[in-house]
Structure 1
Amino acid sequence: MDDNRFYADYLIETPLDPSQVAEVMAGEQSCGTFVRVQGETEQLRERARAVVVSVEEIDSVATPSLPNAWQQRQNMQGPWRRARVRISFPIDNVGANLPTLAATVAGNLFDLGEVTGMRLLSLSLPEHYRRRFDMPRHGVAGTRKLTGQSSASQAPLLGTIIKPNVGLSAVQTGELVTQLCEAGVDFIKDDEVCANPVHAPLEERVREVMRRVRAYQDKSGRRVMVAFNITDELDAMRRHADLVEREGGSCIMVGLNWCGFSALQSLRRSSGLAIHGHRNGFGMMSRQPALGMSFSAYQSLWRLSGVDHLHVHGLDGKFSEFNDEVVQSARDCLTPMAPGDEVMPVFSSGQWAGTVPATFAAVNSTDVIFLSGGGILAHPDGAAAGVASLRQAWEAARDGVSLQERARRSPELQHALDFFGPRLK
């Protein structure tokens, strides 16, 4: 890898020669356009043009994946050829400018007339370039420290989401948080659609919740991390982050796709709190296999904004993703782009004790936040038993013991298997 360049990998679909289309892509996203223009000298092109590194043709399809008026006007016919393309870009074209980096590797590429499919697969940045952007302030080790765990801990952070999603008052939310703290969770988060509603204004909710979290910590010595959803315009997010910090909180949650890179960078630089990155809306970028971007590319860009946690959904969950996608997403989060910049993957969506063994086997790490709603709150013996069943399942997975064997001496786990197992088949 050339230390003066960064690399992007794509999947394209086109009725044209994929190598020709790759050259169009390189020109479009650097110094070129559809014709050579005045001032585009060979010296300038040598310095600033993106370069096609490789083109690997995969297969072809009889019908295009996406509509294309440009191709219709030219009466283009198939087959539509698919290929993987790698392009390198000069770092000096972009500098440490995250929105422009995103515009360079994506941007107008998705609108090119030459393609009926365009997907950003991955990004590769030299370490020195990655370090010009924000690193996680806390990341894996810092998150553990904020929750009172050592960096050598072999336990995941177990948590849940405030439910009902919306509708509870600030006092009712505080009462639920007390119950969850008493049940033994490490982590509690707001739902992504509950930020600053009229029935529970964020300022009231933060004060009420943190009063109860502090009381629980004084009594038990345990720290519980609460991720308050402060998603809003930037000035409001800064104010709310300051409030959380004054009240003794340690974490804020942001809906990444709706706030944008610049807001996250500014928030990261103005707040000492852990940033819990929620990816809601990512499905519109990823569900069509020939369009958008993979989570690998998505998480690479968002990690440059300095987030500490990223959602990856969960195995056998309620959403559309396949398990191998979820697993790869978690692995990507835990793979350093530069030493020390790993972020904690957040598993959620229909998770319970029964999904733990496959999760641990696939990721081979307990450096995760494992969120379970029904798996805790709907446990037949109560929330504390739900949390206990999760801990027992993670201990069994880590020790190489089956859930059934561990359940023989763990009634909470046995009751979880008996209760949830038949319902989730």
Structure 2
Amino acid sequence: MIRASYLMETPLDPQAVAEMMAGEQSSGTFVRVAGETDALRARYSARVAEVTILEERECPTLPSAYLDRKAVSGPWRRVAVEIDYPEDNVGVNLANLAATVAGNLFDLGEVTGLRLNRLALRPEYRDCYALPSQGIAGTRATLGVSGRPLFGTILKPNIGLSPAQTADLVDQLCRAGVDFIKDDEIAGNHPHSPVRERISAVMDRVRRWREQSGRDVMVAFNISDEVDAMRGHAEHVEAEGGNCVMASLNWCGLAAIQSLRASTPLAIHGHRNGFGAFSRHEALGIGMHAYQALYRLAGIDHLHVHGMGGKFADQTEEVAEAARLALQPLGQTDDRVMPVFSSGQWAGTLPQTLEEIGNADIMFLAGGGILAHPDGPAAGVRSLRDAWDAIQANEPLDAPGRPALATALDFFGGR
């Protein structure tokens, strides 16, 4: 069985609405139809496992013309609902899985709020889907980094640089000592910077850096596009010696990410931009537990989780939970993905990040925290490593002897 956990709001009988949800998303509709035999229902009907009333409210979260037509009034109850769906209803089909556990449920007239919070899968069923190509272990092996977070940055300015200018910036960042560099999510296939030209120009510098230093740097090129274009861009990255591509998960979609995974051995850096539209309201949309499960079935290797004390609206616990989920296996094999912290991150936010999740298997991206360091990007990278050293030594960040970190604390600390 596939178990989906919902937060549902309704003024009607919660058990009856939950049963209707289960029927709507499995073998039936709002009335029993010809051919819907008892045997068919026994095998293919979804089943309500649990209904728990959590609270009553005086006003609905969302309007419903259906309820208005029936002159239904409150109180409106918020209810935790658990529904089990037969795996045979889905097969191994990620788009159909999402349509089954979500689909039309958000549009039902009986509900004035609905959120898919969790998705629980049998490990054996999870393993029928794609696994990460590199995941945590492979990403670390590619970069030759163990025992500490991966420190990286985002290319800024994110728009307006030519391929040659982007390559110059990447070269500077390689020399500054970063492990990882990524395109911004709005960097794409621009007239002023065609993605293939940018890939070739950047990888020329990365290859030179590898030869000179013996170190690798992972660059996540944003190849978000329609499916065939993404496949072609990924092939070009691989041909140029690259090891990672980035995709905007929500705008490419589950099936496109699946197709990309099937066509490339490169690490897929999953950017969740737009996730707030699905998750930010407590009574509507899709929660991180269900969201990350779906995209991990598509085979991503890294997943953005935002950052502690950053510029976005997430609470600290929301960020920490997202990271902890990424670090938990879903299947029988090691299918963990590397959580990616970004948004307003710098050396001063690293201690809380590590304390909250208790694991160094993270990617810690500092855009301004590296590029805007008063002493330059190399000092920005040094400040991150200084912060890590201070944490390992159980010393405060402002302990003497770490000048790059001291400057970062002075410059970024009051912002």
Q: TM-score range by the shorter chain?
A: over 0.9
Counterpart position of 1:188: 181
- For the residues of structure 2 that align with 1:297 and 1:399, how far apart are their CA atoms? 38
- For the residues of structure 1 that align with 2:394 and 2:123, how far apart are their CA atoms? 36
Match among 63, 75, 78 for residue 74 of structure 2? 78
Asked if 1:121 is matched to 2:113, the reply is no
What is the correspondence of 1:11-22 to structure 2 with a 5 Å cutoff?
A: 11-22=7-18
What is the correspondence of 1:410-421 to structure 2 with a 5 Å cutoff?
A: 410-421=402-413
Unaligned 5+ runs, structure 2: none
Which residue identity lines up with residue 165 of structure 1 in the other structure? N
Give 3-state SS (helix, strand or coil) of 1:242's partner.
Answer: helix
Residues 47-68 of structure 1 show CA distances to partners (whole Å, capped at 9, x for unaligned) of: 0000011111110111111111
Q: Is the 8 A contact 1:50 1:89 kept in 2?
A: yes
- For the residues of structure 1 that align with 2:257 and 2:394, how far apart are their CA atoms? 40
Match among 380, 385, 409 for residue 386 of structure 1? 380
| Structural RMSD (CA) | 0.9
Counterpart position of 2:165: 172
Q: CA deviation at 1:157?
A: 0.9
Counterpart position of 1:353: 347
- For the residues of structure 1 that align with 2:284 and 2:256, how far apart are their CA atoms? 26
What is the correspondence of 1:34-53 to structure 2 with a 5 Å cutoff?
A: 34-53=30-49
What is the correspondence of 1:299-338 to structure 2 with a 5 Å cutoff?
A: 299-338=292-331
| TM-score of the pair, normalised by structure 1 | 0.96
| TM-score of the pair, normalised by structure 2 | 0.98
- For the residues of structure 1 that align with 2:388 and 2:229, how far apart are their CA atoms? 39
Regions of 4+ moved over 3 Å: none
Asked if 1:395 is matched to 2:389, the reply is yes
Q: CA deviation at 1:393?
A: 1.1
Percent of pairs with identical residues: 59
Give 3-state SS (helix, strand or coil) of 1:403's partner.
Answer: coil
- For the residues of structure 2 that align with 1:398 and 1:256, how far apart are their CA atoms? 35
Give 3-state SS (helix, strand or coil) of 1:216's partner.
Answer: helix
Counterpart position of 1:63: 59
Counterpart position of 1:363: 357
- For the residues of structure 1 that align with 2:66 and 2:390, how far apart are their CA atoms? 57
- For the residues of structure 1 that align with 2:410 and 2:259, how far apart are their CA atoms? 48
Asked if 1:214 is matched to 2:207, the reply is yes
Q: Is the 8 A contact 1:255 1:280 kept in 2?
A: yes
Residues 144-200 of structure 1 show CA distances to partners (whole Å, capped at 9, x for unaligned) of: 111122xxx211111111111110000000000011001000000001111110001
Which residue identity lines up with residue 286 of structure 2 in the other structure? M
Counterpart position of 2:6: 10
Task: Give the direction of change, closer, same or farther, for the CA distance of 1:398–1:18 in structure 2 (3 Å limit).
Answer: farther
Residues 99-158 of structure 1 show CA distances to partners (whole Å, capped at 9, x for unaligned) of: 000000000000011100000001000011000000111100001111122xxx211111
Match among 130, 137, 149 for residue 134 of structure 1? 130
Asked if 1:106 is matched to 2:99, the reply is no
